[in-house]
Amino acid sequence: MEQYKQDFIEFMVDSNALKFGSFTLKSGRQSPFFMNAGSYVTGTQLRKLGEYYARAIHEKYGDDFDVLFGPAYKGIPLSVAAAMAYSELYGKDVRYCSNRKEAKDHGDAGILLGSGMKDGDRVVIIEDVTTSGKSIEETYPIITAQAKVEIKGLMVSLNRMEKGPAGKGSALDEIRERYHIEAAAIVTMQEVVEHLYNRPYKGQVYIDDAAKAAIDEYYKVYGA
């Protein structure tokens, strides 16, 4: 596993963005782990988060894109932080864009925040985590309605590696099949378990035998 992935897993834990226990997801599933990008709240955390996204995006797409699109609301700071980090790390200015939940009819009118879209733009969508793929279902038509753009793919922070709504594979797999775009993550839940299982981090074991057993049971039902 690449060093930046190991560092990112520890960063998620340090930021309290990745938790272990018992959590009811939006889908209704009872999960033994939970990832919440809303826990990144300080300038330092957002700077580091942007760097991790930028590294993963560069590894996956190189410089072959023009716009980072972050769906409202959590995607807004993600796209801003990643665009800043990309410029700093790789010397390329990419634009950020997000959507409003409701179109604005005065001043800076329209559905978009940040950069507009123009024909020929290559877009990478950036999100925190995808469980059901519902967010992409809402986001994809918003982007494609703006101009004749090419959506290069989707980058999330954590691939939960569980069945999507169609039950054909993971949510990311279903997104690839339905929209014919790439879909990737900074880390997978398998990598998280590999890195933290029975391994003390700052004096604490976050995935002990009991937590590992709960995760294994969860994946027997929901794993892709």
Residues in the chain: 224
| 26-68 pLDDT per residue, tens | 778 899 999 998 999 999 999 999 999 999 999 999 999 999 9
Residue 209: Cβ-neighbour burial (10 angstroms; 0-12, 13-18, 19+): exposed
Residue 138: Cβ-neighbour burial (10 angstroms; 0-12, 13-18, 19+): exposed
Contacts 24+ apart (CB under 8 A), 104-112: 111/142, 112/146
Contact in structure between 154 and 184 (CB atoms under 8 Å):
yes
Q: For residue 157, which of 119, 183, 193, 123 has the smallest C-alpha distance? A: 183
User: Which residues are annotated as catalytic?
Assistant: 104, 106
User: Per the confidence metrics, is the pTM higher than 0.95?
Assistant: no
Look at residue 107 and tell me whether its pLDDT is greater than 60. Answer: no
Name the band, by pLDDT with cuts 50, 70 and 90, for residue 106.
low
Determine which of 19-28, 68-77, 92-101, 163-172 has the lowest per-residue pLDDT on average: 163-172
Confidence (pLDDT) at 129: 86
Looking at residue 191, its amino acid is E
Name the band, by pLDDT with cuts 50, 70 and 90, for residue 167.
confident
Site of tokens 């930046």: 4
Name residues whose C-beta falls within 8 Å of residue 136's C-beta, 6 or more positions apart in sequence.
125, 127, 130, 154, 175, 179
Name the band, by pLDDT with cuts 50, 70 and 90, for residue 170.
confident
